[in-house]
Each structure stands twice: as C-alpha cells, then as structure tokens.
Amino acid sequence: CFTEDRETAKRVLDLGMYISFSGILTFKNAEQIREAARYVPMDRILVETDSPYLAPVPYRGKANQPAYTRDVAEYLAVVKGLSIEQVAEQTTENFAKLFNIAPERLTLL
C-alpha cells in the first residue's frame, strides 16, 4: 500500500521491489502518490484494496472489499493513460511473476 512520493518510489524500484497502489490513489489529496504512479513502470506495479480500510472513491468512508480492486485499477489506467485491459493484464502478469504462479491460473479483473 504505497503512500510515498516519486523519490521513494525510485529507491524502492532500485531495490528490485514492486509497488502496490491502493484506494488511496483515488483520494483528492493524493497527488504525490499519483505522481509516483506515473513514474513507476507498469512491469513493477500491483493493485490492491487494503481491505477493510482505505476504500477508493466513490466508496471512501465505507468498508473496503476486494471487489474494489477494479476501481483502483481503473483509476490507475487513467493516471497512466492506458486502458483498463492493459492495466489488468500487466498487473496480473506482475502478480503471477512475484508469487511464482502460472498466469493462466489467474483471472483478470
């Protein structure tokens, strides 16, 4: 659940890690996180909901749930200037690689 800035993202990436964005990405006051998301290459991004906390807009203030991962991915697509399909395919591939799971065993958003 990345909540830092672009410079921190660079340091994390330099260590070979992935960066996961949650519903915080959709918050009005989260421009530094959106800036970091624009910087991070797609092959190092994951999406999450951090349930039961930090529900994305328009569910902010309510209990979060895994189904809202799609909302985070849709928002990330806008931030990155990509289609939701591109984001879903790449983040699914990233998840499979990170956890050593055959990508065909996973379902896209």
Q: Where are the domains of the chain?
A: 6-105
Q: Provide the strand spans (E) within 25-76.
A: 45-47
Distance CA(107)–CA(27), nearest Å, equals 27
| pLDDT tens-digit series, residues 52-105 | 999 999 999 999 999 999 999 999 999 999 999 999 999 999 999 999 998 777
Q: Which two tokens mark 15?
A: 């260590």
6-105 CATH: 3.20.20.140
Distances (CA, A) of 84 to 48, 70, 73, 99: 15, 9, 7, 22
pTM score, two decimals? Answer: 0.92
pLDDT band at residue 43 under the 50/70/90 scheme: very high
